[in-house]
Amino acid sequence: MELNDINKLNPSSLCDKMVEISEFCRVNNNNFLLLEAIWPDCDNHFLMEGIQLIVDGTEYDVLLKFLEIRLQTYIGDHHKRHFIQKILIPHSFYDKITCLKIIKTALEEIAQKSNPRIVLHFCKAHINRYIDTYDNSGVKLKY
């Protein structure tokens, strides 16, 4: 599993990647130590820190608190530093924030050992526009 292009993914593709990580955990009986093999290639510091906390066996409520603080810190810092960029390219800023929220949600669900399908639905909830996808039986889903 490749995690070296996470920062280049759009929110929809990121949802799929997070489900892939969830499926990896599920196939390996939620042996989170195996996640150590994939995080060195990760180019997203937020995701890498979250995976590291899960691998270390951090309590769920501590993980939640950490991810929320990091997310809010990033949003606050980004608002201050990139005010002009937000005006000129608003979709770029909000896609980054959406991606961080997707990562946070996915890590929370992975830590809870949730079904990958649940991870998908929670992640897709962060995407504002409708996305057409198909489930395994070919039925079209609207998000």
User: Mind listing the pLDDT tens digit of every residue in the chain (143 residues)?
Assistant: 556 567 778 888 899 999 999 999 999 888 898 888 876 677 888 898 999 999 999 999 999 999 999 988 887 765 555 555 555 555 566 778 889 999 999 999 999 999 999 999 999 998 855 444 545 555 555 54
Percent of the chain clearing pLDDT 90 (strictly above) = 43
Rounded CA Rg of the chain? 15
Total domain count, the chain: 1
Give CA–CA dist 40/135, Å, rounded.
31
Does 88 reside within a domain?
Answer: yes
Does 40 reside within a domain?
Answer: yes
Residue 42's domain comprises 6-142
Indicate the pTM of the whole model.
Answer: 0.76
Amino acid at 9: L
Does 118 reside within a domain?
Answer: yes
Residue 134: phi, psi to the nearest 5? Answer: -125, 140
Does 137 reside within a domain?
Answer: yes
Amino acid at 87: I
- Sequence-ordered list of residues with C-beta below 8 angstroms from that of 55, at least 6 positions apart, any chain: 32, 33, 35, 36, 39
Does 93 reside within a domain?
Answer: yes
Q: For 3-23, how does the pLDDT look when each residue is reduced to its tens digit (9 = 90+)?
A: 656 777 888 889 999 999 999
Does 1 reside within a domain?
Answer: no
Does 81 reside within a domain?
Answer: yes
The structure tokens listed for 125 are 């909830």
Residues belonging to the chain: 143
